[in-house]
Amino acid sequence: METLLAQGRTEDAWKLAQEYRFGPPFSGITVIPDAPTLYGRLLLARGETDDGIRQLEEAGAQLDRRGWQNPLWAPWKGLLAQALAAKEPARARRLALEGRTRAERLGINSAIGVALRDSAAVAAGAEEELDLLRESVEKLGQSPAAYEYAVSMVAYGSALRRSGRAEEAAEYLDQAERDAVRLGAQAVAERARNERLATGVPQSPSRQRGIDDLTEQERLVAMRTAHGQDIGQIAAENHMSIRVVRMLLASVHHKLGIGPDGLRSVFGGGDA
């Protein structure tokens, strides 16, 4: 269901929920992602806002009682904040800030990036929204969370367009569309495409970003991966942690708009 929602296939996700009787009351068994939170997200996606809000409030209260505060597993605060933004903006901003605090305490770029985007969605003004989205894109660009990165790129590109920075917006939206298409996230790709058209910037021939966009470390790990070295070897030989190598590779894939199989065609053969 989470994957179907990411693809924009809300009704397919709902049919799956009905087929397997997925819904309250939920058992006390811990699963990832958190089932009550996912159900609340599904209700919101279907436009059942009041029911979605109630479900997320109940899920959050239960999770807090259990001391479960990892926003990657149960992102209820950000979802609830956005659902409440129109009617209760002050509460929405407070919830988003609490979610951000939890993500920063966790210290994982993907969690922080998503929380920053949640805060941007309920920000008090355009400049604050832009600043938060820029930070979100930066954090997610250093993580393996390719889908969330594409979502934040669309949000940032849209905010740039609304602020009159059309050329800059078009660049981010072009990249977001390429990433979303590669990931199979049709709804995100469509949003990126529509926002790109709204910029009014003439369409240039589609092309991938070149290797000149990569940092020295990104180019190094990309070349070594393309030439057959595994992550452990690269980390050991270049005095990096495996986590850092993975983050660098994720950034390479984002910047070049290709998956792992495309690295060899970009960097060629031979010894690294």
Q: Is residue 25 part of a domain?
A: no
pLDDT at position 20? 95
Q: Which domain holds residue 227?
A: 211-267
Of 164, 69, 165, 79, residue with least CA distance to 117: 79
Q: Is residue 136 part of a domain?
A: no
Q: Which residues of the chain have pLDDT under 50?
A: 205-208, 270-272
pLDDT at position 210? 59
Note the pTM of the prediction, 2 decimals.
0.75
Cα separation values, 152 from 133, 183, 247, Å: 7, 14, 17
pLDDT at position 149? 95
pLDDT at position 122? 98
Q: Is residue 90 part of a domain?
A: no
Residue 228 φ/ψ, nearest 5 degrees: 100, 0
Q: Is residue 54 part of a domain?
A: no
pLDDT at position 214? 79
pLDDT at position 270? 47
Domain of 221, CATH number, reads 1.10.10.10
Q: Is residue 251 part of a domain?
A: yes
Q: Residue 32: is it exposed, middle or buried by C-beta count within 10 angstroms (0-12/13-18/19+)?
A: exposed
Cα separation, 14 vs 22, whole angstroms: 9
Cα separation values, 160 from 49, 133, 229, Å: 28, 10, 39
* Total domains present in the chain: 1
Q: Is residue 197 part of a domain?
A: no
Q: Is residue 263 part of a domain?
A: yes
pLDDT at position 212? 66
pLDDT digits (tens, 9 = 90+) for 91-105: 999 999 999 999 999
Q: Is residue 224 part of a domain?
A: yes
Cα separation values, 114 from 179, 205, 259, Å: 17, 31, 22
